[in-house]
Amino acid sequence: MAYLILVRHGRSEWNDKGLWTGLTDVDLTDRGCEEARKTGVLLKDFKVDIAYTSKLKRAKNTLDLILKELKITVPVIESVFLNERDYGVFTGKNKWEVKDSVGEEKFNQIRRSWNFPIDKGESLKQVYLRTIPYYKNQILPELKKGNNVLVVAHGNSLRSLAK
């Protein structure tokens, strides 16, 4: 039986500031790097045959640190289909200030609802519609071959895969 291992990137610079990051290409904090290394330690008993990651450096750097901790080299495939959700007009805005401005109900719709439209951005449904075909066409065949697959991506792209 093959394993599908899903890992969210470590803490990013904008996570520390409470900002909606989306497609903004920010790096990991020192804490995020340490989280990635600890994830590598936790995965030491798993054989990884191939890895997938988004095009964003916080995910790519998390993967690099995990592989370094595991002391392995595997094929790595980067794809925009695994990128974080595009938060559109909310990108770069402080989440908690937005919550105060729009109220808790709308804030929860923006963050967690399935098909809530975001101006110039994506709903979780739209993220699902780009990640699932990629999973079915690229990742699932590797699992069917018996390869253990590590995917390092983002909260929303991983949520859509888990769904």
69 is a catalytic site residue: no
First to last CA, the chain: 21
105 is a catalytic site residue: no
Hey, is 12 helix, strand or coil? strand
Catalytic residue of the set 34, 69, 78, 84: 84
Which residues, 6 or more positions from 158, have their beta carbon under 8 angstroms from its beta carbon? 6, 8, 151
Angle of helix 124-134 relative to helix 155-162, nearest 10 degrees, comes to: 70
**Nearest CA among 119, 61, 129 for reference residue 86:** 119
Distance of alpha carbon 74 from alpha carbon 5, whole angstroms: 14
C-beta of residue 121 within 8 angstroms of C-beta of residue 89: yes
C-beta of residue 78 within 8 angstroms of C-beta of residue 60: yes
Supply the residues annotated as catalytic: 9, 84
